[in-house]
Structure formats: C-alpha cells, structure tokens
C-alpha cells in the first residue's frame, strides 16, 4: 500500500509530532490540513499515531506506588516515622 509516499507526505511526516502536539504555527497547520484532506495514507498515519500515544499512556494517572513498595522505600530512607498516614 506504500506505493506512493510522496515528497509532501515525507514533509508532513517530519512535522507530524509537532503537529500532534499543537506546536506548529497556524500557516503550517493549514498547509498540513490541506494535504490531509487529499491524502488517505497521511490521514491514517496521523490518526493511528494519535491513538498509539493514547494507548501507551493508558490509565497512568490512576497508577500509584503499591503500599508495600512505599513501606520499603520509607524504611530504606530511614523515614519510617513518616510512613503513615500518607503525606
């Protein structure tokens, strides 16, 4: 399916991260969006890259250090007296 990865597509690829992160000037975004309208492959690369980032991020905000790991950490640092309650 990669039978025509054009120069424009390669240019988009090099700016893809910054486009996703909203770090490109407006004129460049407009140019990229114009290209995306007519290029299925680049649209797919953009959509799947965004999704990839979401998926790897996962539910990280809900992750916490397990209690037993925290206990051992405080003991190792000689901070046992501050173990409970959680600061």
> Interface with other proteins by CB under 8 A: which residues?
1-2, 5, 10, 13-14, 16-18, 20, 23, 40-41, 43-45, 47-53, 55-58, 60, 63-65, 69-70, 72-74, 76-79, 81-82, 86-87
What are φ and ψ of residue 5, in 5° steps?
-100, 95
C-beta of 8: minimal distance to other proteins in Å?
13
Its sign, for the CA torsion 73, 79, 84, 87, is negative
Dihedral over alpha carbons 52, 58, 60, 66 (to 10 degrees): -130
C-beta of 1: minimal distance to other proteins in Å?
5
């Amino acid at each position: 399916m990669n039978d025509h990865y054009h120069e424009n597509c390669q240019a988009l690829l090099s700016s893809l991260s910054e486009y996703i992160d909203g770090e490109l000037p407006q004129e460049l975004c407009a140019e990229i969006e114009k290209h995306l309208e007519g290029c299925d492959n680049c649209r797919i690369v953009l959509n799947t890259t965004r999704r990839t980032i979401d998926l790897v991020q996962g539910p990280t905000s809900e992750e916490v250090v397990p209690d037993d790991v925290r206990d051992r950490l405080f003991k190792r640092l000689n901070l046992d007296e501050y173990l409970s309650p959680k600061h």
